[in-house]
């Protein structure tokens, strides 16, 4: 295998990250392709998620923090009636419950407490660190985990489509918001459980 000679490279790459790949894996592939000495990404997208991931190289890494703190928008496919251990479709189904008929008004009432400045508990399968170790490492090992709760900002949640057991939501939020947690909490409010099936 030929050894890559890295070089100084400054700039931003707007990558449409495919599903099934972590943000760091996407960064490392791009770094090798461009032979960039220094690089960073501007926030962790779940492997399940697709969409815009700005990658910073060289001098551009100095503005990564600014981009990291910016507002973000997601289109989320939410499956009602199933709770998983990861709060998304990659996880093991822990519980199945019937989905009651949900009116548009009832759905909006359930979404209301999830808008604005809210306290949110992170998924146990997340990159958040506890004792210097990511939570997902502890979860995979089978450790008992009390995921931290923190304050996040959810600017808007709009319902793009509503079907009996599926919702399409557009979420605009601040940095650090977990869309998986929003889906999980919405499912509990509706009394049927929920998880994310797709996220862009």
Catalytic machinery residues: 46
Question: Within 12-134, where are the H helices?
Answer: 23-34, 64-68, 104-111
Q: Where does residue 107 rank: exposed (0-12), middle (13-18), buried (19+ CB within 10 A)?
A: middle
Beta strands at 82-84 and 72-80: parallel, antiparallel or unpaired: unpaired
Pair 14, 54: CB distance under 8 Å: yes
Pair 94, 84: CB distance under 8 Å: yes
Output DSSP code: residue 18: P
Pair 73, 155: CB distance under 8 Å: no
Angle between helices 104-111 and 179-190 in degrees, nearest 10: 130
Whole-number Å distance between alpha carbons of 199 and 173: 14
Tokens of 154: 């959810």
Pair 152, 122: CB distance under 8 Å: no
């Amino acid at each position: 295998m030929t050894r890559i000679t890295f070089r100084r490279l400054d700039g931003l790459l707007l990558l449409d990250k495919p599903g099934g790949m972590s943000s760091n894996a996407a960064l490392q592939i791009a770094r090798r392709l461009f032979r960039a000495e220094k690089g960073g990404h501007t926030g962790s997208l779940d492997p399940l998620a697709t969409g815009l991931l700005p990658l910073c190289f060289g001098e551009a890494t100095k503005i990564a923090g600014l981009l990291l703190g910016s507002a973000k928008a997601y289109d989320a496919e939410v499956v009602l009636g199933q709770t998983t251990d990861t709060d998304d479709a990659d996880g093991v189904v822990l519980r199945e419950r019937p989905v009651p008929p949900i009116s548009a008004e009832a759905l909006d009432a359930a979404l209301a407490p999830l808008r604005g400045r809210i306290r949110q508990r992170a998924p146990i399968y997340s990159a958040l660190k506890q004792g210097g170790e990511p939570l997902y490492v502890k979860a995979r090992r089978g450790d008992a985990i009390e995921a931290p709760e923190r304050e996040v900002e959810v600017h808007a949640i709009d319902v793009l489509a509503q079907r009996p057991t599926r919702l399409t939501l557009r979420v605009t939020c601040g940095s650090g918001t977990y869309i998986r947690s929003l889906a999980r909490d919405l499912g509990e409010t509706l009394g049927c459980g929920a998880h994310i099936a797709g996220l862009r």
